[in-house]
């Protein structure tokens, strides 16, 4: 299991947060500008960002939702619901259930495409073993 380093009380710099979350500094700034964070990122007296555990956890949520194809506007809406606090849990649940259905549909499509690829691999392997791979269909020049 991956060892998670504790976040110091003073927080992490933007570069350290980028390293910990696996996203770029540019992405972290974009998440802030796009309204994807649930609470303002802390700042030093000099105005430099300081990320805390809650920030890193939320960035991970955003990154994973994005990786599953959730549009930025939907992540923003979800962040707004979370930031608003209690009372909208049913809406959050509906949003997640709808996204889950989308992800399952994409997985089914990917599985179907993988089956085609596996079939093609089997055909090529079989033809190579049989010695008649040169008889496979190819467009004429």
Condensed to tens digits (0 to 9), the pLDDT of residues 6-19 reads 888 888 999 999 99
- For residues 76 and 34, the answer to whether their CB atoms sit within 8 Å is yes
pLDDT top residue among 116 and 140: 116
- Whether 116 has a pLDDT exceeding 80, the answer reads yes
Give the SS3 label for residue 42.
strand
pLDDT band at 53 (very low <50, low <70, confident <90, very high): very high
pLDDT tens for residues 16-48?
A: 999 999 999 999 999 999 999 998 899 998 999
DSSP 70-96: --HHHHHHHHHHHHH-TT-HHHHHHHH
CATH architecture label of 1-85:
Orthogonal Bundle (1.10)
Q: What is the pLDDT of residue 1?
A: 47
Q: What is the pLDDT of residue 25?
A: 97
pLDDT band at 129 (very low <50, low <70, confident <90, very high): very high
- Whether 93 has a pLDDT exceeding 90, the answer reads yes
Q: What is the pLDDT of residue 101?
A: 98
Q: How many CB atoms lie within 10 A of CB 127?
A: 14
pTM (predicted TM-score): 0.81
């Amino acid at each position: 299991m991956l060892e998670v380093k504790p976040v110091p009380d003073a927080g992490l710099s933007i570069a350290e947060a980028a390293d910990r979350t696996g996203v770029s500094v540019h992405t972290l700034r974009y998440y802030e500008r796009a309204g994807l964070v649930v609470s303002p990122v802390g700042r030093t007296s000099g105005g430099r960002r300081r990320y805390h555990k809650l920030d890193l956890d939320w960035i991970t949520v955003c990154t994973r939702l994005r990786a599953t194809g959730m549009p930025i506007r939907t992540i923003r809406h979800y962040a707004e619901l979370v930031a608003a606090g209690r009372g909208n849990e049913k809406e959050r649940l509906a949003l997640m259930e709808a996204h889950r259905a989308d992800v399952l549909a994409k997985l089914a499509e990917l599985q179907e495409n993988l089956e085609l690829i596996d079939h093609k691999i089997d055909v090529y392997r079989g033809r190579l073993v049989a010695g008649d791979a040169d008889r496979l269909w190819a467009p004429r020049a």
